Amino acid sequence: MARTVKFFALMLAVTGVAGCSLFPTRAPEILTDHDFGPLHAHAPMPHGAPVIVRAKSVAWLSGTAIHYRLLYRDPTAVHVYAQNRWIAPPATLLKARIRWRLGMGPALSARPSAHIERLVIVLLRFDQDFTTPHRAFVRLEAAARLYDETTGRVLAQKTVDLKRRSAPDARGAVIGLSDLARKASAAFAHLVTRHAGVRD
């Protein structure tokens, strides 16, 4: 009888250990949201005429995922970081950065003006590429056109294709892409201020 009790006690102990190994306690994953950094890092450029800023992107950049590619393994496969993302679609963040650089608030000024400009930006690339497991770079490609809102005339246009080395991880992607976004916003804001007052 004593031997039988010991046998069942041993079986219960083994079952308990197996249960712990089959169903381990997992810590909840922490999802971190990122933007392009504080806006007060650079002084905005004052711009006289009201500007309507529109920003859009290719379909695969319309969400908040941070994308990367492993060029050394499968260059056509696009991956996303599981625990890091943008707080808003990159085109939306880029638009806010450009509006701030032009000295504009969250909405178009209501003051009367005979001349209104429209800046349309299309974000074409915004991702991180790995050439080896330990070497990576980030890239931003975007095109912009500045229109006279009344006549529809194209006043100016510009394409940027920016690239720089980054740390081979999610943090490197965020820091590198944010830096490229700041440079692109400066270039597009300069496009507007350089052509201020252009008329038909």
Full DSSP string of 83-130? EEEESS-HHHHHHHHHHHHTT--SS---S--S--EEEEEEEEEEEEEE
Q: What is the pTM of this model?
A: 0.79
Does residue 163 have a pLDDT over 70? yes
Q: What is the span of the domain harbouring residue 48?
A: 33-194
Nearest to 168 by CA among 138, 123, 125: 138
Distance between CA atoms of residues 56 and 116, nearest Å: 20
Convert the pLDDT of each residue in 102-132 to its tens digit: 886 544 444 445 578 899 999 999 999 999 9
Examine residue 171 and state whether it is found in any structural domain, yes or no.
yes
Report the percent of the chain where pLDDT is more than 90: 62
Q: Token pair for residue 11?
A: 């079986």
Examine residue 2 and state whether it is found in any structural domain, yes or no.
no
Convert the pLDDT of each residue in 16-69 to its tens digit: 444 444 445 565 678 999 999 987 655 555 555 678 999 999 999 999 999 999
Examine residue 25 and state whether it is found in any structural domain, yes or no.
no
Distance between CA atoms of residues 81 and 128, nearest Å: 11
